[in-house]
Structure 1
Amino acid sequence: MTVTVRFAPSPTGRIHIGNARTALFNWLFALNNKGRFIQRFDDTDISRSTQEFADSILYDLHWLGIFPDVTEYQSRRVEIYDAAVERLKAARVLYACYETPEELDLRRKVRRTRGLPPVYGREALTLTPEQVAEYQSDGRKPHWRFLLPNFTSDPLQPERTEIHWNDLVRGEETVDLASLSDPVLLREDGTYLYTLPSVVDDIEMGVTHVIRGDDHVTNTGVQIALFQALEAVPPVFGHHNLLTTASGEGLSKRTGALSIESLREDGIEPMAVASLAVLVGTSENVATMPDLAELAGHFDPAATSKSAAKFDPDELFVLNRALIHHMPFSEARDRLIVLGVSGDKAEPFWLAVRGNLDRLADAVQWWRILGDGPQEPPELSGEDRDFLREAFDLLPEEPWNGTVWKDWTGKIREATGRKGKALFMPLRLALTGQPSGPELADLLPLLGREGTLARRP
C-alpha cells in the first residue's frame, strides 16, 4: 500500500502559515513514508472559489518546496458525487428537508430553552406526502441530510453511538454521533457542501492518511460514518493543533493575516517559514532546517501538542537571520544576480556581508556602499577628520592580501596612539557611512586601494 495524503484547501483566499502547517505536515509525512501527495482544491463553493486563488496556493506551495504528484479540482468531479448521492438515497440514509434557515434557527432556540442540545430533530422524516407536495407547490426546494447511524430502530430516538479512531497525532479519540445534527450534504441549489465530496474523493483517490487541523475532530466522526455508509474503509486520521497569533487570535485566509505571500514579499526565507510552521507547538526545539529533507527527520506527528500553538513573527525573523547568516554563495548566487550583485567580487562580498543581514535583499545596500561609497557624508568631528587624513596617508601599497586591514590599523595605532573604538569607528564611518556592519577586514580587499582612497575625507 502506497501512503497517500492530500492537502485540500478551498481556493477562496491566499493561504497563511497555519494552512502551510497542514500542507507541510502532509508533505513531510509522505516524504518519510515514500508516499504520494495530492493537491486537491475543494472548490464546490463556486461563488467564492477562483482559479486565481488556486494558482496562488500552488505558487506558495512550490515556494515552500512542496510539489504535488497530482492536482485535482472538485468542481470537475460533480458526476462522481452525484453517483454517490444516488447510492445514499437508495440506502435510505439521505433524506430531503424543507425547513428554511429561519425555521431551523427557531427550532434550535426552542431546544435550548428546553435544556436540549441544539441538534436537528429529524422533523423532515415525519413529513407526510401531502406536506411535501405543499412545500413543493410553494416553490420550496429541499436540502439533503445524511442520516447518522445513531439509533437502533427509530431514528427519532437517537442514542449514544460512539465512533472511535486512533488519531495519528492525538491518540485515541471518540465522537458521540448522538450529540450531532445530521449533516447537510446537498444544498437547495444542488451544490455540495464540504463533507460528501471530501469523503468520496478520499475513497476514489486512494487517500490512506488524512492529516488536518484539530478543528475537524468532530467532522471526523461524521465522515467515518459516511465512509462506512459508502462501504469504504476510512483512512487513518491525524489532527494537529492550530496556530494562532501571538495574542491568541485564529488565522484566516479572508483577512490575509500572516499569508505566505506577505511573508515572502517581506523577505522571509521559505525554510524559515517551514521550520517554524512545523516545529512550533511540538516537543522539538524550534530551529532552522536547511531543507525539507532535514526537516522531515525532525518531524513526528505524535510529538505535536494538543494545545494551540502561538505563532510569533519575531521568532520567524530570528530563524530567517540564522538562515541568511549561514547561506552558502551557491544558494544565494542566482537571487543576488537578479538584485544586481554579480561579477568576481560577488562571492567574497556575500561571505563578508551575510552575517549582518536580516534578509537577502538587504545585501543590495552593502553592494551600493561597496561600489559608490556612503550614501551620505559621515558626520565627523574636526579631530576625527584630521585623524582620518593621517590614517589614509598610511594606507599600504598594493598588492593587498588578507592581512591588509591588520597591517594598516597597526601602522595607524603606532603613528597616532589611537586604539579601540577611537581608532576603528572613524574608519568605519569614512569607509561605509554606517556605525556598524560587516568586518572591515573583509570589505577592504573588495574596495581595493583606489576605492579606499576615494573615501578619504
Structure 2
Amino acid sequence: MTIRTRFAPSPTGYLHIGGARTALFSWLYARRHGGTFVLRIEDTDLERSTAESVNAILEGMTWLGLEYDEGPFYQTERFDRYRQVTQQLLDEGKAYKCYCTREELDAMRADQMARKEKPRYDGRCRNRSEPRPGVEPVVRFRNPDEGQVTIEDMVRGQVLVSNAELDDLIIARSDGTPTYNFTVVVDDLDMGITHVIRGDDHLSNTPRQMNILAALGAPLPRYAHVPMILGADGSRLSKRHGAVSVMQYRDDGYLPEAVLNYLVRLGWSHGDQEVFSVDEMIELFDLGQINHSASSFNPDKLLWLNHHYLMHGDPLHVAHHLRWHLGQLGIDPTDGPDPVEIVKAQRERCKTLVDMARHSAFFYRDFAAYDEKAAQKNFAGDAPRVLEALRAALSDLSDWQREAIHGVLASTAEDLGVKLGSVAQPLRVAVTGTSVSPPIDVTVELLGREKTLCRIDRAREFVRALGLG
C-alpha cells in the first residue's frame, strides 16, 4: 500500500503554527514511507475564504519547504461531485431530506436542555416522504441507531464512541452547498487518503466521518489526532504567545529549518535529541512517538534554535535568506561585501537575520550619525592622532587582508605607545558608527579600502568640528 497523507487548511486566514505543524507531521510521514503528500484547500466557507488566504498558505508552505506531490485541490471546484454522492446516499436511503425550520429546531433543543438532555436532532424527518411547502430542505445523513464506532487512533490508542451519541448530520444545506464533514469524507475517499493526521480538535468529527465512509462502502483511513499546542501559561495558543502567521517568522528573521525543527519537537521526540536536520526528521519521525499531552509554545527555545542554525548552517544557505532581509532595508547586497562573508562575520553575535541585516547595514551604505555615547568615549583623548596615524598607515597598505590590517593596527598602537584597544575602538566607531562590530580587522577587510579611508576622514572632520581630544 502506498501511503497517502493530506494537509487540508481552510483559507480563512494565514498559515499559523498549529496548521504548519499538522502539515509537517503529514509531510514527514509521507516522506518517510515513500508516500504521497496531498494539498487540499477546503474553501467551501464562501463568506470567509479569500484568495489572499490561499496565497498566504501556499507562500508559507513554500518557505518552509513542505513541497506537495498533488494539488492544490479546491473543494469549490468539486461541488458537482458532492451533489452526486449526496444523491447516491438519498437514493440508497442512507440520507434523507429534513424540512424542519430553524424555529422548530431551536424549540426542540430548548426542550431537551430543559430535561437536562444533550441537545441533538431527534430524527423527526427520518420517515417523512412528502415535501413541506415553502421550506427548502437540508439533507441529513442517516446515522446508525445502534452499535459504536471504534477509532484505532495512532496517537491516542483506541477510542470508542456510541452511535447513540451521534445525531443525523446535515451533509447539504438548504441552498445545496455541502457541509465540512461531508466534503472531507468525499475528498479523502476520492483522493485515496490512507492516513489522516490532524489536530485532536477534530476527534469529535471522526466517528461521523467514519460512518459516512462505511455507508459509501469505502475503506477507512488510519487516523492520528495530534494534541493541541498551548501557550507557555497553559492557555490556548493565541497571537500573544506567538501564534502568528508562519511568514511572520520569516519577517522576524527566522530560518525555515529552525521553525521546522521547533515545530517537530512540539509534541514529538526522539530520545533527548533537540536539533534535527530535515533529513533526520524524515528518517526518525514516527507517529507512535507523538506525546499524548498538549505541547507548550516557548519562543525562547525557538530563538535558541534559530541562533544554532545561524551558527552552524551552511553560510551560503544562510546568506540566501540574509539577502532578502538586506533588501527589506533598501540595500542591494551587490553594493558591498559578499553576504556569505557577512554571515561568517556576524553569526556568532546575531540571533536572527533581522539583527544580522541591521547590524551589517553599515557595510553597504553610510550611516546617518555616530552613536552619541560611543563617539564621546572613543573620539576623545588620543583618538585624533590615532585616526591620523591609521589613515596614513592604511592608505599605504597594499595587501588588504585581515592579517595585514591587524598588523597595521598593532604597529600603530606600538608606535603611539598605546594599547591595541585604544587604536581599535576609535577606528571601529569611525567606520561603523557604533562601538560594536565583528573583529575590527575583519570589519575593515569586508568594508574595503575606499569606504574605510573615507569614513576615517569623516571621523577626523567630526572630531575637529567638535573639538574633541
Q: 1:376 pairs with 351, 357, 369, which one?
A: 369
SS of 2:125's equivalent in the other structure is helix
> Match of 2:79?
78
> Match of 1:157?
none
What is the identity, as a one-letter code, of the residue corresponding to 2:369? E
For structure 1, which runs of at least 5 residues remain unmatched after alignment? 152-160
Give the conservation status (yes or no) of the 8 Å contact 2:413–2:422. no
Instruction: Give the deviation of 1:257 after TM superposition.
Output: 4.8
> Match of 2:111?
110
Instruction: Give the deviation of 1:436 after TM superposition.
Output: 2.5
Closer, same or farther in 2 for the Cα pair 1:121/1:60, shift >3 Å? same
For residues 275-319 of structure 1, the C-alpha deviation after alignment (integer angstroms, 9 at most, x for no partner) is: 2222123334684545x3333234222222222222233433333
Instruction: Report the Cα distance in structure 2 between the residues aligned to 1:423 and 1:337, rounded to whole angstroms.
Output: 32
Closer, same or farther in 2 for the Cα pair 1:146/1:286, shift >3 Å? farther
Corresponding position: 1:348 with 2:337: no
> Match of 1:37?
37
Identity %: 34
> Match of 1:310?
296
Closer, same or farther in 2 for the Cα pair 1:382/1:416, shift >3 Å? farther
Closer, same or farther in 2 for the Cα pair 1:8/1:383, shift >3 Å? closer
Closer, same or farther in 2 for the Cα pair 1:226/1:324, shift >3 Å? same
Give the conservation status (yes or no) of the 8 Å contact 2:253–2:355. no
Closer, same or farther in 2 for the Cα pair 1:418/1:304, shift >3 Å? farther
Instruction: Report the Cα distance in structure 2 between the residues aligned to 1:383 and 1:438, rounded to whole angstroms.
Output: 17
Instruction: Report the Cα distance in structure 2 between the residues aligned to 1:449 and 1:270, rounded to whole angstroms.
Output: 36
What is the identity, as a one-letter code, of the residue corresponding to 2:122? G
For residues 142-175 of structure 1, the C-alpha deviation after alignment (integer angstroms, 9 at most, x for no partner) is: 1122122232xxxxxxxxx332232122222222
Larger RCO, structure (CA 8 Å, separation 6 or more): 1
Closer, same or farther in 2 for the Cα pair 1:196/1:412, shift >3 Å? same
Corresponding position: 1:222 with 2:217: no
SS of 1:57's equivalent in the other structure is helix
Closer, same or farther in 2 for the Cα pair 1:447/1:126, shift >3 Å? closer
1:62-77 to structure 2, matched below 5 A, reads 62-71=62-71, 72-77=73-78
SS of 1:386's equivalent in the other structure is coil
1:386-397 to structure 2, matched below 5 A, reads 386-392=381-387, 393=389, 395=393
Instruction: Report the Cα distance in structure 1 between the residues aligned to 2:364 and 2:190, rounded to whole angstroms.
Output: 60
What is the identity, as a one-letter code, of the residue corresponding to 1:73? Y
Instruction: Report the Cα distance in structure 2 between the residues aligned to 1:420 and 1:98, rounded to whole angstroms.
Output: 89
> Match of 2:168?
182
Q: 1:140 pairs with 109, 132, 135, which one?
A: 135
Closer, same or farther in 2 for the Cα pair 1:126/1:201, shift >3 Å? closer
> Match of 1:98?
99
Give the TM-score taking structure 1 as reference length: 0.85
Closer, same or farther in 2 for the Cα pair 1:378/1:120, shift >3 Å? closer
What is the identity, as a one-letter code, of the residue corresponding to 1:307? S
Instruction: Report the Cα distance in structure 2 between the residues aligned to 1:434 and 1:188, rounded to whole angstroms.
Output: 68
Instruction: Give the deviation of 1:203 after TM superposition.
Output: 1.4
Instruction: Report the Cα distance in structure 2 between the residues aligned to 1:374 and 1:257, rounded to whole angstroms.
Output: 35
Instruction: Give the deviation of 1:411 after TM superposition.
Output: 4.0
For structure 2, which runs of at least 5 residues remain unmatched after alignment? 461-469
SS of 2:291's equivalent in the other structure is coil
Closer, same or farther in 2 for the Cα pair 1:452/1:163, shift >3 Å? same
Corresponding position: 1:201 with 2:187: yes
Instruction: Please give the root-mean-square deviation of Cα atoms over the aligned residues, in Å.
Output: 3.0
Instruction: Give the deviation of 1:238 after TM superposition.
Output: 0.6
Instruction: Report the Cα distance in structure 2 between the residues aligned to 1:174 and 1:59, rounded to whole angstroms.
Output: 39
> Match of 1:154?
none
What is the identity, as a one-letter code, of the residue corresponding to 2:159? E
Give the conservation status (yes or no) of the 8 Å contact 2:336–2:363. no
Instruction: Report the Cα distance in structure 2 between the residues aligned to 1:423 and 1:321, rounded to whole angstroms.
Output: 31
Moved more, 386-395 or 53-62: 386-395
Instruction: Give the deviation of 1:206 after TM superposition.
Output: 1.1
